[in-house]
Structure 1
Amino acid sequence: MINSRKGYDERVNAGRAIPLAPERDLDDDPAMMVQEQIARIKFLDEKSSIRDRKVLDLGCGTGFNFAYAKEKLGSKEVTGVDISSSAIAYAKKIYPAGSFLQGDICSQNFDCGNGIWDTVICCEVIEHVDQPQALLDTIHRHLRHSGVGFVSTPNRPVFSLGFEPSPVNHTHVKEFTLDEFRSMLEEKFSKVEIWGQRFTNDRLFKMQQSIVARNIKDYRLLGEWYWQDSVRRIWKTLRCEPLQRLWGGGLKYSHGDFAFANPVTQDSIWLCAFVVK
Protein backbone atom coordinates (compact mmCIF):
# COMPACT_ATOMS: atom_id res chain seq x y z
CA MET A 1 0.00 0.00 0.00
CA ILE A 2 0.97 3.65 -0.38
CA ASN A 3 3.16 5.09 2.33
CA SER A 4 2.26 8.77 1.98
CA ARG A 5 5.04 9.93 4.30
CA LYS A 6 7.72 8.20 2.26
CA GLY A 7 6.04 8.71 -1.09
CA TYR A 8 6.27 5.20 -2.45
CA ASP A 9 4.00 2.28 -3.26
CA GLU A 10 5.18 -1.27 -2.58
CA ARG A 11 3.52 -2.53 -5.76
CA VAL A 12 6.33 -2.72 -8.30
CA ASN A 13 4.31 -1.35 -11.20
CA ALA A 14 2.77 1.57 -9.28
CA GLY A 15 4.42 4.88 -10.10
CA ARG A 16 7.72 3.29 -11.19
CA ALA A 17 9.51 2.89 -14.49
CA ILE A 18 9.34 -0.81 -15.23
CA PRO A 19 10.49 -2.49 -18.46
CA LEU A 20 7.57 -4.10 -20.28
CA ALA A 21 9.86 -6.49 -22.14
CA PRO A 22 12.97 -7.00 -19.94
CA GLU A 23 14.19 -9.83 -22.17
CA ARG A 24 14.59 -7.37 -25.06
CA ASP A 25 17.12 -4.63 -25.71
CA LEU A 26 16.29 -1.78 -23.31
CA ASP A 27 16.66 0.73 -26.14
CA ASP A 28 13.59 -0.87 -27.73
CA ASP A 29 11.48 -1.32 -24.60
CA PRO A 30 7.94 0.05 -25.11
CA ALA A 31 7.64 1.53 -21.60
CA MET A 32 7.73 5.32 -21.95
CA MET A 33 9.02 5.94 -18.41
CA VAL A 34 11.92 3.60 -19.19
CA GLN A 35 12.63 5.57 -22.37
CA GLU A 36 12.60 8.85 -20.42
CA GLN A 37 15.28 7.46 -18.09
CA ILE A 38 17.38 6.00 -20.89
CA ALA A 39 17.49 9.48 -22.42
CA ARG A 40 18.78 10.83 -19.08
CA ILE A 41 21.46 8.23 -18.49
CA LYS A 42 22.72 8.57 -22.06
CA PHE A 43 22.88 12.33 -21.56
CA LEU A 44 24.77 11.85 -18.29
CA ASP A 45 27.27 9.64 -20.08
CA GLU A 46 27.71 12.18 -22.88
CA LYS A 47 28.44 15.01 -20.43
CA SER A 48 30.37 13.03 -17.82
CA SER A 49 31.34 9.55 -19.01
CA ILE A 50 30.51 6.69 -16.66
CA ARG A 51 32.68 4.17 -18.54
CA ASP A 52 34.96 2.37 -16.06
CA ARG A 53 33.35 4.37 -13.23
CA LYS A 54 31.89 3.24 -9.92
CA VAL A 55 28.19 4.20 -10.03
CA LEU A 56 25.76 4.37 -7.11
CA ASP A 57 22.09 4.46 -8.14
CA LEU A 58 19.99 5.89 -5.29
CA GLY A 59 16.30 5.06 -5.64
CA CYS A 60 17.09 2.41 -8.25
CA GLY A 61 13.52 1.11 -8.51
CA THR A 62 13.33 -1.88 -10.85
CA GLY A 63 17.07 -1.87 -11.50
CA PHE A 64 17.33 -1.32 -15.23
CA ASN A 65 19.85 1.50 -14.75
CA PHE A 66 22.26 -1.24 -13.69
CA ALA A 67 21.81 -3.16 -16.93
CA TYR A 68 22.11 -0.05 -19.08
CA ALA A 69 25.13 1.39 -17.30
CA LYS A 70 27.03 -1.92 -17.27
CA GLU A 71 26.08 -3.42 -20.63
CA LYS A 72 25.64 -0.31 -22.76
CA LEU A 73 27.88 2.30 -21.18
CA GLY A 74 30.67 0.17 -19.72
CA SER A 75 30.53 1.18 -16.07
CA LYS A 76 33.01 -0.63 -13.83
CA GLU A 77 30.63 -1.15 -10.93
CA VAL A 78 26.96 -0.30 -10.36
CA THR A 79 25.09 -0.66 -7.07
CA GLY A 80 21.39 0.12 -6.79
CA VAL A 81 19.57 0.99 -3.58
CA ASP A 82 15.85 1.39 -2.97
CA ILE A 83 13.58 1.54 0.07
CA SER A 84 11.01 -0.77 -1.55
CA SER A 85 11.48 -4.47 -0.83
CA SER A 86 9.32 -5.45 -3.79
CA ALA A 87 11.32 -3.27 -6.19
CA ILE A 88 14.60 -4.74 -4.96
CA ALA A 89 13.20 -8.28 -5.24
CA TYR A 90 12.15 -7.54 -8.82
CA ALA A 91 15.57 -6.08 -9.69
CA LYS A 92 17.40 -9.11 -8.26
CA LYS A 93 15.15 -11.48 -10.20
CA ILE A 94 15.41 -9.71 -13.57
CA TYR A 95 19.09 -8.73 -13.26
CA PRO A 96 20.67 -11.53 -11.18
CA ALA A 97 24.18 -10.31 -11.93
CA GLY A 98 23.40 -6.92 -10.39
CA SER A 99 24.17 -5.53 -6.96
CA PHE A 100 20.99 -4.31 -5.25
CA LEU A 101 20.38 -3.31 -1.65
CA GLN A 102 17.30 -2.31 0.31
CA GLY A 103 17.78 0.79 2.40
CA ASP A 104 16.47 4.20 3.41
CA ILE A 105 18.57 6.64 1.39
CA CYS A 106 17.30 9.57 3.47
CA SER A 107 18.63 8.13 6.71
CA GLN A 108 21.70 9.72 8.30
CA ASN A 109 22.84 6.19 9.10
CA PHE A 110 22.74 5.02 5.49
CA ASP A 111 26.25 4.09 4.39
CA CYS A 112 27.01 2.43 1.09
CA GLY A 113 30.64 3.46 1.09
CA ASN A 114 30.99 7.14 1.90
CA GLY A 115 33.28 9.09 -0.40
CA ILE A 116 34.10 6.23 -2.79
CA TRP A 117 31.71 6.72 -5.73
CA ASP A 118 32.70 8.36 -9.02
CA THR A 119 29.07 8.93 -10.00
CA VAL A 120 25.90 9.04 -7.92
CA ILE A 121 22.63 8.85 -9.85
CA CYS A 122 19.36 9.91 -8.24
CA CYS A 123 16.74 10.18 -10.96
CA GLU A 124 13.05 10.91 -10.30
CA VAL A 125 13.44 10.29 -6.57
CA ILE A 126 13.68 13.59 -4.71
CA GLU A 127 10.01 14.38 -5.42
CA HIS A 128 9.08 11.16 -3.56
CA VAL A 129 10.67 12.03 -0.21
CA ASP A 130 9.58 14.32 2.60
CA GLN A 131 13.18 15.15 3.53
CA PRO A 132 14.83 16.26 0.28
CA GLN A 133 17.79 17.85 2.07
CA ALA A 134 18.51 14.53 3.80
CA LEU A 135 18.61 12.86 0.38
CA LEU A 136 21.03 15.51 -0.90
CA ASP A 137 23.19 14.88 2.20
CA THR A 138 23.37 11.21 1.19
CA ILE A 139 24.43 12.08 -2.34
CA HIS A 140 27.06 14.53 -1.05
CA ARG A 141 28.71 12.20 1.42
CA HIS A 142 28.82 9.22 -0.96
CA LEU A 143 30.53 11.13 -3.78
CA ARG A 144 34.29 11.09 -3.92
CA HIS A 145 35.91 14.52 -4.01
CA SER A 146 36.15 14.56 -7.81
CA GLY A 147 32.85 12.72 -8.31
CA VAL A 148 29.74 13.87 -10.17
CA GLY A 149 26.17 13.62 -8.96
CA PHE A 150 23.25 13.50 -11.40
CA VAL A 151 19.83 14.40 -9.99
CA SER A 152 16.61 14.66 -11.98
CA THR A 153 13.07 15.61 -11.03
CA PRO A 154 9.83 16.75 -12.72
CA ASN A 155 9.56 20.46 -13.53
CA ARG A 156 6.31 21.19 -11.68
CA PRO A 157 4.98 24.07 -13.85
CA VAL A 158 5.23 21.83 -16.93
CA PHE A 159 5.05 18.24 -15.69
CA SER A 160 1.93 18.89 -13.60
CA LEU A 161 0.95 22.32 -14.97
CA GLY A 162 1.65 23.64 -11.47
CA PHE A 163 -1.18 21.59 -9.98
CA GLU A 164 -0.70 20.07 -6.53
CA PRO A 165 -0.94 17.25 -5.63
CA SER A 166 0.52 15.82 -8.82
CA PRO A 167 -2.17 14.58 -11.22
CA VAL A 168 0.47 12.39 -12.89
CA ASN A 169 1.98 10.31 -10.08
CA HIS A 170 0.23 9.77 -6.74
CA THR A 171 3.50 8.97 -4.95
CA HIS A 172 5.00 12.43 -5.51
CA VAL A 173 5.23 14.18 -2.16
CA LYS A 174 6.52 17.50 -3.53
CA GLU A 175 7.40 18.62 -7.06
CA PHE A 176 9.73 21.57 -7.59
CA THR A 177 10.10 24.62 -9.76
CA LEU A 178 13.47 25.41 -11.34
CA ASP A 179 14.21 28.06 -8.70
CA GLU A 180 13.27 25.75 -5.82
CA PHE A 181 15.38 22.93 -7.23
CA ARG A 182 18.40 25.16 -7.83
CA SER A 183 18.17 26.70 -4.36
CA MET A 184 18.15 23.28 -2.66
CA LEU A 185 21.12 22.05 -4.67
CA GLU A 186 23.21 25.20 -4.21
CA GLU A 187 22.83 24.94 -0.43
CA LYS A 188 24.63 21.59 -0.55
CA PHE A 189 26.97 21.56 -3.57
CA SER A 190 29.73 23.90 -4.73
CA LYS A 191 28.82 23.55 -8.39
CA VAL A 192 25.35 23.08 -9.89
CA GLU A 193 24.48 22.89 -13.58
CA ILE A 194 20.82 22.34 -14.49
CA TRP A 195 19.50 21.23 -17.87
CA GLY A 196 15.93 20.85 -19.06
CA GLN A 197 14.73 17.58 -20.62
CA ARG A 198 12.26 18.36 -23.41
CA PHE A 199 10.62 16.78 -26.42
CA THR A 200 12.18 17.53 -29.79
CA ASN A 201 8.73 17.17 -31.36
CA ASP A 202 6.25 19.90 -30.45
CA ARG A 203 3.34 17.56 -31.23
CA LEU A 204 4.45 15.22 -28.44
CA PHE A 205 4.82 18.12 -26.02
CA LYS A 206 1.33 19.45 -26.77
CA MET A 207 -0.15 15.97 -26.39
CA GLN A 208 1.59 15.49 -23.04
CA GLN A 209 0.28 18.83 -21.81
CA SER A 210 -3.27 18.04 -22.93
CA ILE A 211 -3.15 14.72 -21.05
CA VAL A 212 -2.01 16.46 -17.86
CA ALA A 213 -4.81 19.04 -18.22
CA ARG A 214 -7.32 16.19 -18.63
CA ASN A 215 -5.88 14.41 -15.58
CA ILE A 216 -6.32 17.56 -13.52
CA LYS A 217 -10.01 17.73 -14.51
CA ASP A 218 -10.45 14.05 -13.64
CA TYR A 219 -8.77 14.51 -10.26
CA ARG A 220 -10.95 17.49 -9.43
CA LEU A 221 -14.02 15.45 -10.34
CA LEU A 222 -13.10 12.13 -8.70
CA GLY A 223 -10.90 13.22 -5.81
CA GLU A 224 -8.84 10.39 -4.27
CA TRP A 225 -11.00 7.86 -6.12
CA TYR A 226 -8.97 8.95 -9.14
CA TRP A 227 -6.08 6.76 -7.91
CA GLN A 228 -8.14 3.59 -7.47
CA ASP A 229 -7.15 1.20 -10.27
CA SER A 230 -10.67 -0.11 -10.81
CA VAL A 231 -12.14 3.39 -10.98
CA ARG A 232 -9.48 4.55 -13.44
CA ARG A 233 -10.09 1.52 -15.69
CA ILE A 234 -13.82 2.20 -15.81
CA TRP A 235 -13.29 5.92 -16.34
CA LYS A 236 -10.83 5.36 -19.19
CA THR A 237 -13.14 2.81 -20.80
CA LEU A 238 -16.01 5.30 -20.74
CA ARG A 239 -13.70 7.75 -22.48
CA CYS A 240 -12.82 5.08 -25.09
CA GLU A 241 -9.09 5.29 -24.30
CA PRO A 242 -8.49 1.53 -24.87
CA LEU A 243 -9.99 1.84 -28.36
CA GLN A 244 -7.89 4.91 -29.11
CA ARG A 245 -4.72 3.02 -28.18
CA LEU A 246 -5.83 0.03 -30.26
CA TRP A 247 -6.21 2.33 -33.26
CA GLY A 248 -2.72 3.72 -32.77
CA GLY A 249 -3.66 6.85 -30.85
CA GLY A 250 -2.25 8.10 -27.58
CA LEU A 251 1.16 9.35 -26.51
CA LYS A 252 4.13 7.22 -27.61
CA TYR A 253 7.82 8.10 -27.63
CA SER A 254 11.35 6.74 -27.24
CA HIS A 255 14.61 8.07 -25.80
CA GLY A 256 15.46 9.55 -29.19
CA ASP A 257 12.53 11.96 -28.89
CA PHE A 258 14.27 13.99 -26.16
CA ALA A 259 16.81 16.80 -26.11
CA PHE A 260 18.45 18.63 -23.21
CA ALA A 261 18.54 22.42 -22.98
CA ASN A 262 20.68 24.82 -20.97
CA PRO A 263 19.36 27.27 -19.98
CA VAL A 264 16.18 25.40 -19.11
CA THR A 265 13.41 26.11 -21.62
CA GLN A 266 9.74 26.72 -20.87
CA ASP A 267 8.82 23.38 -22.43
CA SER A 268 11.24 21.37 -20.27
CA ILE A 269 9.23 18.63 -18.59
CA TRP A 270 12.06 17.47 -16.31
CA LEU A 271 15.01 19.15 -14.61
CA CYS A 272 18.40 17.37 -14.71
CA ALA A 273 21.26 18.60 -12.55
CA PHE A 274 24.96 17.85 -12.49
CA VAL A 275 26.45 18.53 -9.06
CA VAL A 276 29.90 18.35 -7.48
CA LYS A 277 31.02 18.72 -3.88
Structure 2
Amino acid sequence: MTLHSIERIYPMDLDPHNPADQATLAIHVQRYEFASSLLSGQQILDMACGCGYGTALLAEQNPDKTVTGVDIDPDAIAYAQAHYHLPNLTYVCANAETFASERGFDTIVSLETIEHLPSPTRLVANYSRLLASGGQVIASVPITPTLDGNPHHLHDFSKGSFARLFQREGLRSVKEFEQIQWWQFKGLFSKKPDHQKQHRSEGVGHAVLQYYRRHPFYLLARVGSMLRYGFSNRYLTCQFKATN
Protein backbone atom coordinates (compact mmCIF):
# COMPACT_ATOMS: atom_id res chain seq x y z
CA MET A 1 0.00 0.00 0.00
CA THR A 2 1.29 3.48 -0.92
CA LEU A 3 0.35 5.90 1.81
CA HIS A 4 0.76 9.03 -0.29
CA SER A 5 -0.43 7.68 -3.63
CA ILE A 6 -2.25 10.08 -5.94
CA GLU A 7 -4.53 7.18 -6.84
CA ARG A 8 -6.04 5.96 -3.55
CA ILE A 9 -6.86 7.46 -0.19
CA TYR A 10 -6.44 5.59 3.09
CA PRO A 11 -7.80 8.04 5.67
CA MET A 12 -6.33 6.27 8.68
CA ASP A 13 -2.84 6.61 7.21
CA LEU A 14 -3.03 10.29 6.33
CA ASP A 15 -1.32 12.85 8.53
CA PRO A 16 -4.13 14.60 10.47
CA HIS A 17 -1.95 17.71 10.71
CA ASN A 18 -1.25 17.97 6.97
CA PRO A 19 -3.67 20.55 5.49
CA ALA A 20 -3.19 19.39 1.88
CA ASP A 21 -4.00 15.75 2.59
CA GLN A 22 -6.90 16.63 4.85
CA ALA A 23 -8.35 18.96 2.20
CA THR A 24 -8.16 16.13 -0.34
CA LEU A 25 -9.85 13.75 2.08
CA ALA A 26 -12.55 16.33 2.81
CA ILE A 27 -13.46 16.77 -0.85
CA HIS A 28 -13.86 12.99 -1.23
CA VAL A 29 -15.93 12.69 1.93
CA GLN A 30 -18.16 15.56 0.78
CA ARG A 31 -19.00 13.57 -2.37
CA TYR A 32 -20.00 10.60 -0.27
CA GLU A 33 -22.06 12.86 1.99
CA PHE A 34 -23.86 14.18 -1.09
CA ALA A 35 -24.51 10.64 -2.30
CA SER A 36 -25.61 9.48 1.13
CA SER A 37 -28.26 12.19 1.32
CA LEU A 38 -29.77 10.98 -1.98
CA LEU A 39 -29.83 7.21 -1.50
CA SER A 40 -33.12 5.54 -2.32
CA GLY A 41 -34.31 1.96 -2.10
CA GLN A 42 -32.92 -0.92 -0.07
CA GLN A 43 -30.00 -2.26 -2.13
CA ILE A 44 -27.02 0.10 -2.50
CA LEU A 45 -23.88 -0.54 -4.58
CA ASP A 46 -20.65 1.44 -4.20
CA MET A 47 -18.66 0.66 -7.33
CA ALA A 48 -14.88 1.04 -7.13
CA CYS A 49 -15.10 1.50 -3.38
CA GLY A 50 -11.34 1.52 -2.77
CA CYS A 51 -10.40 0.91 0.85
CA GLY A 52 -14.04 1.25 1.93
CA TYR A 53 -14.16 4.40 4.03
CA GLY A 54 -16.87 5.98 1.86
CA THR A 55 -18.84 2.76 1.61
CA ALA A 56 -18.82 2.59 5.40
CA LEU A 57 -20.10 6.17 5.53
CA LEU A 58 -23.04 5.20 3.31
CA ALA A 59 -23.82 2.19 5.48
CA GLU A 60 -23.43 4.02 8.78
CA GLN A 61 -25.65 6.93 7.74
CA ASN A 62 -28.27 4.57 6.24
CA PRO A 63 -28.54 1.60 8.64
CA ASP A 64 -31.86 0.58 7.07
CA LYS A 65 -30.17 -0.14 3.74
CA THR A 66 -27.92 -2.98 2.53
CA VAL A 67 -24.65 -1.65 1.13
CA THR A 68 -22.22 -3.56 -1.10
CA GLY A 69 -18.77 -2.24 -1.96
CA VAL A 70 -17.01 -3.53 -5.07
CA ASP A 71 -13.40 -2.97 -6.10
CA ILE A 72 -10.99 -4.72 -8.46
CA ASP A 73 -8.04 -4.45 -6.06
CA PRO A 74 -7.89 -7.41 -3.62
CA ASP A 75 -5.61 -5.46 -1.26
CA ALA A 76 -8.12 -2.60 -1.05
CA ILE A 77 -10.96 -5.04 -0.38
CA ALA A 78 -8.93 -6.80 2.32
CA TYR A 79 -8.22 -3.42 3.94
CA ALA A 80 -11.91 -2.51 3.80
CA GLN A 81 -12.93 -5.79 5.39
CA ALA A 82 -10.35 -5.33 8.15
CA HIS A 83 -11.07 -1.69 8.98
CA TYR A 84 -14.66 -0.87 7.98
CA HIS A 85 -17.23 -3.45 9.01
CA LEU A 86 -20.90 -2.90 9.80
CA PRO A 87 -23.88 -5.29 9.95
CA ASN A 88 -25.39 -3.90 6.72
CA LEU A 89 -22.10 -3.74 4.79
CA THR A 90 -20.32 -6.30 2.58
CA TYR A 91 -17.43 -6.13 0.11
CA VAL A 92 -16.76 -7.96 -3.15
CA CYS A 93 -13.60 -8.07 -5.24
CA ALA A 94 -14.67 -7.73 -8.89
CA ASN A 95 -14.20 -5.80 -12.14
CA ALA A 96 -16.61 -2.86 -12.42
CA GLU A 97 -17.23 -3.44 -16.14
CA THR A 98 -18.22 -7.10 -15.70
CA PHE A 99 -19.58 -7.30 -12.15
CA ALA A 100 -22.94 -9.07 -12.12
CA SER A 101 -25.55 -9.62 -9.42
CA GLU A 102 -28.74 -11.67 -9.18
CA ARG A 103 -30.45 -8.77 -7.42
CA GLY A 104 -30.91 -5.29 -8.84
CA PHE A 105 -29.51 -2.26 -7.04
CA ASP A 106 -31.75 0.68 -6.22
CA THR A 107 -28.83 3.13 -6.06
CA ILE A 108 -25.37 2.76 -7.60
CA VAL A 109 -22.70 5.12 -6.28
CA SER A 110 -19.68 5.55 -8.55
CA LEU A 111 -17.35 8.31 -7.39
CA GLU A 112 -14.13 9.14 -9.26
CA THR A 113 -14.36 5.84 -11.13
CA ILE A 114 -15.35 6.39 -14.74
CA GLU A 115 -12.21 8.26 -15.81
CA HIS A 116 -10.08 5.26 -14.80
CA LEU A 117 -11.78 2.61 -16.94
CA PRO A 118 -10.84 1.75 -20.55
CA SER A 119 -14.45 1.94 -21.78
CA PRO A 120 -16.73 4.39 -19.94
CA THR A 121 -19.64 3.41 -22.21
CA ARG A 122 -19.26 -0.27 -21.29
CA LEU A 123 -19.06 0.64 -17.61
CA VAL A 124 -22.20 2.77 -17.63
CA ALA A 125 -24.01 0.10 -19.67
CA ASN A 126 -23.19 -2.35 -16.89
CA TYR A 127 -24.57 0.10 -14.33
CA SER A 128 -27.77 0.20 -16.35
CA ARG A 129 -27.98 -3.61 -16.28
CA LEU A 130 -27.37 -3.67 -12.53
CA LEU A 131 -30.07 -1.12 -11.72
CA ALA A 132 -33.41 -2.23 -10.36
CA SER A 133 -36.50 -0.74 -11.95
CA GLY A 134 -36.68 2.93 -11.05
CA GLY A 135 -33.09 2.90 -9.79
CA GLN A 136 -30.57 5.72 -9.91
CA VAL A 137 -26.83 6.29 -10.33
CA ILE A 138 -24.84 8.88 -8.37
CA ALA A 139 -21.52 9.38 -10.13
CA SER A 140 -18.66 11.85 -10.27
CA VAL A 141 -15.79 12.77 -12.60
CA PRO A 142 -13.24 15.58 -12.88
CA ILE A 143 -14.44 18.15 -15.43
CA THR A 144 -11.06 19.84 -15.86
CA PRO A 145 -8.07 18.19 -17.60
CA THR A 146 -6.38 15.44 -15.58
CA LEU A 147 -4.52 13.24 -18.04
CA ASP A 148 -1.34 15.30 -17.67
CA GLY A 149 -1.19 15.09 -13.89
CA ASN A 150 -2.64 11.66 -13.08
CA PRO A 151 -1.25 8.61 -14.91
CA HIS A 152 -4.18 6.51 -13.67
CA HIS A 153 -6.75 8.56 -15.62
CA LEU A 154 -7.65 7.42 -19.15
CA HIS A 155 -10.33 9.97 -20.07
CA ASP A 156 -11.17 13.63 -19.60
CA PHE A 157 -14.77 14.82 -19.26
CA SER A 158 -16.71 18.03 -19.54
CA LYS A 159 -20.19 18.58 -18.12
CA GLY A 160 -21.63 17.85 -21.55
CA SER A 161 -19.70 14.65 -22.29
CA PHE A 162 -20.45 13.33 -18.80
CA ALA A 163 -24.18 13.91 -19.27
CA ARG A 164 -24.17 12.30 -22.72
CA LEU A 165 -22.50 9.18 -21.35
CA PHE A 166 -25.55 8.50 -19.17
CA GLN A 167 -28.10 9.75 -21.69
CA ARG A 168 -27.15 6.79 -23.90
CA GLU A 169 -28.58 4.55 -21.19
CA GLY A 170 -31.74 6.63 -20.70
CA LEU A 171 -30.46 8.39 -17.58
CA ARG A 172 -30.40 12.15 -17.06
CA SER A 173 -28.90 14.36 -14.38
CA VAL A 174 -31.48 15.71 -11.93
CA LYS A 175 -29.15 17.10 -9.27
CA GLU A 176 -25.54 18.32 -9.41
CA PHE A 177 -22.79 18.99 -6.90
CA GLU A 178 -19.68 20.80 -8.15
CA GLN A 179 -16.46 21.07 -6.17
CA ILE A 180 -13.27 23.11 -6.47
CA GLN A 181 -9.84 21.90 -5.40
CA TRP A 182 -7.08 24.49 -5.60
CA TRP A 183 -3.69 23.31 -6.77
CA GLN A 184 -0.93 22.48 -4.33
CA PHE A 185 2.38 23.89 -5.60
CA LYS A 186 4.64 23.01 -2.68
CA GLY A 187 6.94 20.14 -3.61
CA LEU A 188 5.61 19.96 -7.15
CA PHE A 189 8.99 18.82 -8.48
CA SER A 190 10.11 16.86 -5.45
CA LYS A 191 12.04 13.64 -6.10
CA LYS A 192 11.19 12.02 -2.78
CA PRO A 193 10.01 8.39 -2.85
CA ASP A 194 6.34 7.86 -2.05
CA HIS A 195 6.93 6.88 1.58
CA GLN A 196 8.68 10.23 2.24
CA LYS A 197 6.11 12.50 0.59
CA GLN A 198 4.42 15.12 2.72
CA HIS A 199 1.27 15.30 0.56
CA ARG A 200 -0.31 13.30 -2.25
CA SER A 201 0.49 15.70 -5.11
CA GLU A 202 4.16 16.05 -4.23
CA GLY A 203 6.35 15.33 -7.26
CA VAL A 204 3.49 15.45 -9.77
CA GLY A 205 5.25 18.18 -11.76
CA HIS A 206 7.67 15.65 -13.23
CA ALA A 207 4.84 13.53 -14.63
CA VAL A 208 3.16 16.63 -16.07
CA LEU A 209 6.26 17.70 -18.01
CA GLN A 210 6.81 14.17 -19.32
CA TYR A 211 3.20 14.05 -20.49
CA TYR A 212 3.57 17.32 -22.43
CA ARG A 213 6.70 15.97 -24.13
CA ARG A 214 4.64 13.05 -25.43
CA HIS A 215 1.43 15.02 -26.01
CA PRO A 216 2.41 18.66 -26.66
CA PHE A 217 -1.02 19.72 -27.91
CA TYR A 218 -2.58 18.72 -24.58
CA LEU A 219 -0.98 21.85 -23.17
CA LEU A 220 -3.66 23.81 -25.04
CA ALA A 221 -6.35 22.02 -23.03
CA ARG A 222 -4.53 22.84 -19.83
CA VAL A 223 -4.09 26.52 -20.71
CA GLY A 224 -7.76 26.78 -21.71
CA SER A 225 -8.81 25.28 -18.40
CA MET A 226 -6.53 27.62 -16.46
CA LEU A 227 -7.98 30.64 -18.24
CA ARG A 228 -11.51 29.48 -17.38
CA TYR A 229 -11.04 28.04 -13.88
CA GLY A 230 -7.72 29.37 -12.62
CA PHE A 231 -5.28 27.12 -10.76
CA SER A 232 -7.86 24.57 -9.74
CA ASN A 233 -9.37 21.19 -10.47
CA ARG A 234 -13.16 20.95 -10.76
CA TYR A 235 -15.24 17.88 -9.95
CA LEU A 236 -18.87 17.19 -10.78
CA THR A 237 -21.11 14.72 -8.96
CA CYS A 238 -24.53 14.03 -10.51
CA GLN A 239 -27.63 12.15 -9.54
CA PHE A 240 -28.86 10.35 -12.66
CA LYS A 241 -32.38 8.97 -13.01
CA ALA A 242 -34.31 7.26 -15.79
CA THR A 243 -35.89 9.65 -18.31
CA ASN A 244 -39.00 7.50 -18.74
TM-score of the pair, normalised by structure 2: 0.70
Q: Is the counterpart of residue 128 in structure 1 residue 116 in structure 2? A: yes
Deviation at 1:33, TM superposition (A): 3.6
In the alignment, which residue of structure 2 is the partner of 1:17?
Answer: 9
Q: Is the counterpart of residue 74 in structure 1 residue 56 in structure 2? A: no
Please give the alpha-carbon distance, in whole angstroms, between the structure 1 residues aligned to 2:22 and 2:127: 28
Please give the alpha-carbon distance, in whole angstroms, between the structure 2 residues aligned to 1:141 and 1:227: 44
Aligned AA (1:18): Y
In the alignment, which residue of structure 2 is the partner of 1:43?
Answer: 34
3-state SS of paired residue (1:269): strand
Gapped regions of structure 1 (runs ≥ 5): 1-9, 25-29, 157-161, 200-204, 238-264
Deviation at 1:63, TM superposition (A): 0.7
Aligned mate of 2:45, from 50, 56, 65: 56
Q: Say if 1:149 and 1:21 are closer, same or farther in 2 by CA, change over 3 A.
A: same
Please give the alpha-carbon distance, in whole angstroms, between the structure 2 residues aligned to 1:170 and 1:71: 33
Please give the alpha-carbon distance, in whole angstroms, between the structure 2 residues aligned to 1:134 and 1:11: 29
How many residue pairs are counted as aligned between the two chains?
A: 206
Gapped regions of structure 2 (runs ≥ 5): 204-227
In the alignment, which residue of structure 2 is the partner of 1:190?
Answer: 171
Aligned AA (1:183): R
Conserved 8 A contact 2:174-2:241: no
Please give the alpha-carbon distance, in whole angstroms, between the structure 2 residues aligned to 1:64 and 1:153: 19
Please give the alpha-carbon distance, in whole angstroms, between the structure 1 residues aligned to 2:186 and 2:161: 23
Please give the alpha-carbon distance, in whole angstroms, between the structure 2 residues aligned to 1:12 and 1:81: 21
Aligned mate of 1:229, from 194, 218, 225: 194
Aligned AA (2:11): P
Conserved 8 A contact 2:187-2:202: no
In the alignment, which residue of structure 2 is the partner of 1:146?
Answer: 134
3-state SS of paired residue (1:20): helix
Please give the alpha-carbon distance, in whole angstroms, between the structure 1 residues aligned to 2:2 and 2:197: 17
Deviation at 1:193, TM superposition (A): 3.2
Deviation at 1:125, TM superposition (A): 0.5
Q: Is the counterpart of residue 100 in structure 1 residue 91 in structure 2? A: yes
In the alignment, which residue of structure 2 is the partner of 1:119?
Answer: 107
Deviation at 1:64, TM superposition (A): 1.3
1:214-235 deviation digits (Å, cap 9, x = unpaired): 95xx4xxx9xxx79637977x9
The alignment-based identity, stated in percent, is 21
Deviation at 1:31, TM superposition (A): 3.8
Please give the alpha-carbon distance, in whole angstroms, between the structure 2 residues aligned to 1:112 and 1:13: 34
3-state SS of paired residue (2:107): strand
Please give the alpha-carbon distance, in whole angstroms, between the structure 2 residues aligned to 1:268 and 1:228: 24
Aligned AA (1:197): E
Q: Is the counterpart of residue 89 in structure 1 residue 78 in structure 2? A: yes
Q: Say if 1:182 and 1:212 are closer, same or farther in 2 by CA, change over 3 A.
A: farther
Conserved 8 A contact 2:4-2:195: no
Please give the alpha-carbon distance, in whole angstroms, between the structure 2 residues aligned to 1:184 and 1:212: 33
Deviation at 1:103, TM superposition (A): 0.6
Please give the alpha-carbon distance, in whole angstroms, between the structure 2 residues aligned to 1:111 and 1:119: 15
1:153-205 deviation digits (Å, cap 9, x = unpaired): 1112xxxxx3x5231x3311222111221221211233223624225xxxxx5
Q: Say if 1:230 and 1:119 are closer, same or farther in 2 by CA, change over 3 A.
A: closer
Please give the alpha-carbon distance, in whole angstroms, between the structure 2 residues aligned to 1:73 and 1:132: 29
Conserved 8 A contact 2:136-2:240: yes
Deviation at 1:88, TM superposition (A): 0.6
Conserved 8 A contact 1:20-1:31: no
Q: Which runs of 4+ in 1 moved over 6 A?
A: 230-233
Conserved 8 A contact 1:12-1:62: no
Q: CA RMSD in A?
A: 3.5
